[in-house]
Amino acid sequence: MKLSATLSKTGFAAAGLALALTSTPGVAQDSAENYPERTISWIVPFPPGGAMDAIARVLSENMSKELGQSIVVENKSGAGGNIGANHVVKAKPDGYTIMIAANGMAVNPFLYSHLTYDPIKDFEPISLLAAVPNILVTQADRTDVNSLEDVIRQAKEKPGYYTYASAGVGTSIHLAGALFTYTGGLDMLHVPYKGSGPAVADLMGGQVDYMFDSITSAKPHIESGKLKALAVTTKARSSTLPDLPTVAESGMEGYELTPWFATFAPAGTPPQIIAKLNSAMIKAMDTDRVKEIFATIGAEYIGSSPEELATYLAAETEKWDKIIEATGISVE
C-alpha cells in the first residue's frame, strides 16, 4: 500500500505541521553515531495477541538483526493506550525506548479530558508502518441484507431500530461505526462490549445487527460461513479481500477510516537515531517473514518517512477533532 495513493490524500492542509527532527542538547553526538549500543525497549500499549503486538514482535526480530542489538517488546496496556504512551513520554530521548501506536494517538486527545501528553509535541515520529482495515459484517444467514446499500436503506426506514457492536467506546471499531452513522445521517444504536470477542459472539448470535470489525478478527468467521462481509472502511480495497467494496464506493461518498499502526520515540530523540530506526524498520518490512505475518493479519504495508508520518498524524488529529466534537463521543 503506497502512502501517496491511500493515506496522504486526507484533504487537510497539514504539511506545515510536520515535526522538525532537530538535534537535542544533552544527548551526546557520538552516542547518536554509535547507536545502538545496548538493548532497545519497544513499548506496545495494548495486551499481547492483537495485530499491533504481532507487528511489533515480528519487526523487532528482523530489526535487531539490522541494528546488531536486541529489541525487547514490552506490553504496557490500559486506558486506551495512554499508560504505554505516558511511559514513553517520560523515557530518556536516546532511542532506547520506542513505541508502536495506532489511531488513538490522533483520537485520545479528544476522548480523554485529562490526557497528560500531547501526541504531536511529546513524540518524534519514526514510521507509519501499516494499515489493518476494518470491515462491516453481519450474520451470514441474513437474507434481507446483501450490500451496504441495504444497510443504509433499512437504517433510514427505521431510525433507531438497528444496532452495531464495538469492542468498546473510543476503539477504531467504534469510531468506524460512529463515522458511518455521522456521514450517512443515520440513527443506529451503538452497543459497546469489553473487547472484540464478546461483540463478535453476540453478532453471530443475532443479539446485535452489525459490527465494524478488524479484518484480522472477522476473516476467519467469514471464511467459515458465520459472518457476511459488506464493505471495507479504507479508501482503497483490501488486498486480503479484493472483491469487497469500500464503504465510499457502496453509497456513502467521503467515508474513510483507516486503522493504522505507527512508531514513535520520545520528543527530542536525535534525528540520526530516528533515521537509523526508520531505515531498520523499512528494511525489516521487506523480509519474507514480515510479509508473511502482515498477510496473515491482513495488514497493508506502508513504510513511511518520519516527515510523512508527522504530516499524516497532524491531518488525522484535525479530522477526528471535528468528528468527535460533532458526535459527542467520550470515554469519561
Same domain, 10 and 125: yes
Same domain, 218 and 106: no
The reported pLDDT for the residue numbered 185 is: 96
Same domain, 20 and 121: yes
**Chain centre distance of CA 56:** 13
Same domain, 138 and 236: yes
Same domain, 19 and 120: yes
Same domain, 190 and 286: no
63-77, pLDDT tens digit by residue?
A: 999 999 999 999 999
CA distance 177 to 168: 11
Instruction: Please give the grid coordinates belonging to residue 311.
Output: 504530516
Tally of domains in the chain: 2
The reported pLDDT for the residue numbered 330 is: 86
Query: Would you tell me how many other CB atoms lie within 10 Å of the CB of residue 52?
Result: 24
Adjacency order of strands within the sheet including 97-101: 71-75, 40-44, 97-101, 260-266, 123-131, 300-301
The answer as to whether 288 is a domain residue is yes
Q: Looking at this protein, which amino acid is placed at residue 226?
A: K
CATH number at residue 226: 3.40.190.10
Stretch 193-200: mean pLDDT: 93
- Sequence-distant (6+) residues with CB within 8 A of 286 are none
CA distance 291 to 241: 17
CA distance 320 to 316: 6
The answer to which of 20-24, 180-184, 244-248 has the lowest mean pLDDT is 20-24
Are the C-beta atoms of 169 and 127 separated by less than 8 Å?
Answer: no
Are the C-beta atoms of 136 and 230 separated by less than 8 Å?
Answer: yes
Mean per-residue pLDDT over the chain, rounded: 91
Stretch 201-218: mean pLDDT: 96
CA distance 246 to 231: 5
Please tell me the pTM assigned to this model. Answer: 0.86
The reported pLDDT for the residue numbered 13 is: 33
The answer as to whether 301 is a domain residue is yes
CA distance 132 to 176: 13
Stretch 313-326: mean pLDDT: 95
The answer as to whether 332 is a domain residue is no
The whole domain housing 189 covers 134-250
3-22, pLDDT tens digit by residue?
A: 443 444 333 333 333 444 44
Boundary of a domain, candidates 217, 250, 283: 250
CATH number at residue 88: 3.40.190.150
pLDDT band for position 84 (cuts 50, 70, 90):
very high
Boundary of a domain, candidates 190, 225, 250: 250
